[in-house]
Structure 1
Amino acid sequence: MESSKVIHAFYTDDEILLDAVKAVKAKHHHIEEVFCPFPVHGLDKAMGLAPTRLAITSFLYGITGLAVAIWLTKYIMIEDWPQDIGGKPNFTWWANMPAFVPILFELTVFFAAHLMVITFYMRSRLWPFKEAENPDPRTTDDHFLMEIPVHNNEVELTKLLTNTGAVEINIVDKH
């Protein structure tokens, strides 16, 4: 595997980082990753990242949960073991549906929440015993790190990053 060089530019303020990302993108440089100790509003848009489709999957998981809840209540309470509750037997799902609303709601939320967590971990490639990809532990405390690939333009990138307010700039081999 061939190693490539990247520049790690450190920032201590999220607003300065956001302005730096915009400046680097304006010069048409590719930003590999930005490591932050907390979410920075607008950073995804500044980096040009595509919007997430997790909301669509959440909706589909909720619909799946609702369908399972409808099937479950119909099968258990109408077909398999119909019960005379309060002296008013009714053997249609539609007539009994108001009593099933809590079950329908809970299974909708249950499926959406649990399947979203699984989807998020799979999409983010976060699984048990995975080693951290964080290049510097300071990014979990009070520093922001912008990682930019180097293609024989170290001087240009270093000058640009210094002008954007980087407090530290390192050129490292990324394996």
Structure 2
Amino acid sequence: MTWLQTFTGKHLDYTNPCPHVFDKDSIAQGLSHECRFNGQIPQFYSVAQHSVLASLLVPKHMAWEALLHDATEAFIKDIPAPLKLLLPDYKRVEDRLDKVIRLKYCLPLSMSAEVKKADLIMLATERRDFDLDDGTVWPVLEGITPADFAICPLNPAQARAQFLNRWEEVKPF
């Protein structure tokens, strides 16, 4: 079996994903229940909330892309980057899903520099706010300043609602 039943009852075939499977409710549900940092933080903090906050850090015309920058994680989990490097087959599946989502939602074919920077600002902010700074250098964060707001983690239902509200605010169609 190579498929997953989504929150809205559709079947996502990982070997041949169809665009209709990637609906806003399934994306919001999956991201709101997916904890950042593989759950290795003191409080639950969802990818949905991370995505909403990232969408606030970019110019308005890029907020849609920022909101959906981690949409694949609603269906394949938020695998920590160091582990992802060891899983080339996972990366291929992730890239396949990302391509379909990007085409369906009229996003650039690859993540824009502005959204990537917002993602890094969020990482720096999360590192600060979740006390992940043990003195170890994170080379990816060199020159990146955390956001000027503090993260107040939401529960999954709150994060889902926040994500869906932001979806309606920034969707381009």
Please, what TM-score do these two structures have when normalized by structure 1? 0.20
Bigger Rg over Cα: 1
Q: Larger % of strand: which?
A: 1
Bigger relative contact order, structure 1 or 2, given CA contacts below 8 A and separation 6+? 1
